[in-house]
Amino acid sequence: MNNLIEKADDFVLNLFKEKLPNTFIYHNYKHTERVVKSTKELIANSEINVKQEEALLLAAWLHDTGYTRTFEGHEKESVKIAKDFLEQNNATPELIKDVLKNIEATKFNSNPESFPEKVIKDADSSHFAKEYFEETSELLRQELELQNIKNFTTGEWLQENIRVFTEKHQFYTDYAVKEWGPKKEENLLELIEAKNKQEKKLKKEEAKARMKARYKNDNPERSIQTLFRVTLRNHIKLSDIADTKANILLSVNAIIISLALANMIPKLDAASNKHLLIPTLILILFSVASIILSILSTRPQVTTGEFTKEQVKNREVNLLFFGNSHKMPFEQFKWGMKEIIKDKDYVYESLMLDLHLLGKVLHRKYKILRITYTVFMIGIIVSVIAFVGAFYLM
C-alpha cells in the first residue's frame, strides 16, 4: 500500500511540474498536500479498514490531476488520469473502482453516500476550518481571475464566501463536525465582520461623495473665491510686467544718454563735427522723453489715506486698498473692515471694486508704456536718419 501511495505522490508532483499552468495558484501540489494531510487526520480518528484507507489516500493525491487538462469538469479528467495510473501500476479492479468513486465525490455539489466519500469530501474542503483560510481563499479568488472564470471584487468575494459557508458547505463526518466546525464558525464570523466593516467604509465614502457633490452644486463659494483670487493675481502679475518694461526703457535710455554725453558732446566743439550736433540732440531729446514717460508710468498716485463712516456705509470707498486707509486710526479701520465682513455681498462688492480700480491703474500704465515705446522707436529711427543725412550733407 505505501509503495503505491508513494508512487502516486511522485506521479502528481511530476505531472503538476510538467503540465499544470502557473496560473493555478490554488489548485496545485500544495493544495493536494493539504487534502492528503486532512484525509490522514480523518482516517486516524475514524474506524476504517486498510483497503478503504488506501483508496482514500490515493484519491486524495489524484483528485485534482484533471486541472492539467481543463478547469471546468476537471473531476472527469482526474478520473481518467487516475484510472490510467492505477492500471499501469497493477492496482486491483476493486481498488480502482473505490478510488474513482472517491474522486467523483469531490465535486462541489455532490452528496457523499458512503463513509469514505464523506471523508474525502470533508478533507477537500477542510480549509474552511483552518487558520490559513483567508490566505487560501484569496489565492482561489486570484486563480479564478487568472483563468478568466470570474473577477470578484473584495466585497463580492466576501459575500460569495459567506453564501458558501451558510448555504452550500457542510461537514459530513462526526470528527469534522466536532473538531473543525467551531473553527469554521469562527472564520465565518470574521468574514461577516469584514463585510460589515467594508459596508460601513463604503457608506462613509458615499456620504462624503454626496456631501462633496452637494457642496459643489449648492454652494458656489469656492468657485467665486477662486475667480477673485486668480483675477487679482493676474492683475498683480500684469502690473509687475508693466513695471519691468518701464525699468528696461529707463535703463536703455539712461545708457544712451550717458554714452552720448561722454563720447559725442565733447567732440562737437570741433568744426569738423558740427554736422553731428542736430542728430545728437535729437537722440538725447527722444531718450529724455522716453525716460520721463517711463517714470510717469510707474509713478504711484498719492491718495488721502482717509475715509468716513458715511463712505463705508454708502459703499463708496475701497478699504482693501491701503491708500484709502493708511492715515486712519486702527480702531476706525477695524470698524470699517467689520462692516464689510458681516455682509457677504459687501465683501464681494469690495473685491469687485478693487479689481476695477486695479484695471484702471493697469490701463494707465500700459497706455503710457505704449506711448513710451512709440516715442523711443521714433527717436531711434529719426536719429539714425538724422545721422545719415548729416554725413551725406557733409
What would the pLDDT profile of 239-260 be if each residue is shown by its tens digit? 888 888 888 888 888 888 888 7
Distances (CA, A) of 13 to 10, 18, 124, 143: 5, 9, 18, 19
pLDDT at position 211 is 73
**Contact of 119 with 48, CB cutoff 8 Å:** yes
Please compute the mean of the pLDDT values over residues 185-205 and round it to a whole number. Answer: 89
Domain ranges of the chain: 2-211, 221-393
* CB-count burial class (<10 Å; 0-12, 13-18, 19+) for 82: buried
The conformation of residue 149, written as its DSSP 8-state character, comes to S
Are residues 353 and 336 in contact, defined by beta-carbon separation less than 8 angstroms?
Answer: no
Looking at the chain, the whole-number percentage of residues with pLDDT higher than 70 is 92
Locus of grid cell 470528527: 175
Q: Which of 129, 141, 134 is nearest to 169 (CA)?
A: 129
pLDDT at 302: 64
Instruction: Give the highest mean pLDDT range of 331-335, 377-381, 388-392.
Output: 377-381
From the CB of residue 241, how many other CB atoms can be counted at a distance below 10 Å? 14
pLDDT for 378: 92
Q: Tell me the CB-side half-sphere exposure of residue 147, using CA atoms within 13 A.
A: 22
Of the pLDDT bands very low, low, confident and very high (cuts 50, 70, 90), residue 186 is very high
Cell digits for 171? 461537514
Q: CA-to-CA distance for 104 and 55, rounded, in angstroms?
A: 13
Proportion of the chain above pLDDT 90, given as a percent: 39
Distance CA 169, CA 161 (A): 10
74-83, 306-315, 335-344, 352-361 — which is least confidently predicted?
Answer: 306-315
Task: Given CATH 1.10.1300.10, say whether it is the number of domain 2-211.
Answer: yes
Give Cα 114 to chain centroid, integer Å: 56
Determine the average pLDDT of the residues in 270-293: 82
User: Does pLDDT of 217 surpass 60?
Assistant: no
Mean of pLDDT values over 296-307 = 74
> Which pLDDT does position 129 carry in this prediction?
92
**Please, where are the H alpha helices in the chain?**
2-19, 29-44, 50-62, 74-88, 93-104, 115-124, 133-146, 154-163, 174-175, 181-218, 221-259, 277-298, 309-313, 330-341, 344-393
Give the single-character DSSP code of 206. H
The rounded Cα 329 to chain-centroid distance in angstroms is 51
pLDDT at position 268, please? 66
Mean pLDDT calculated for residue range 354-361: 83
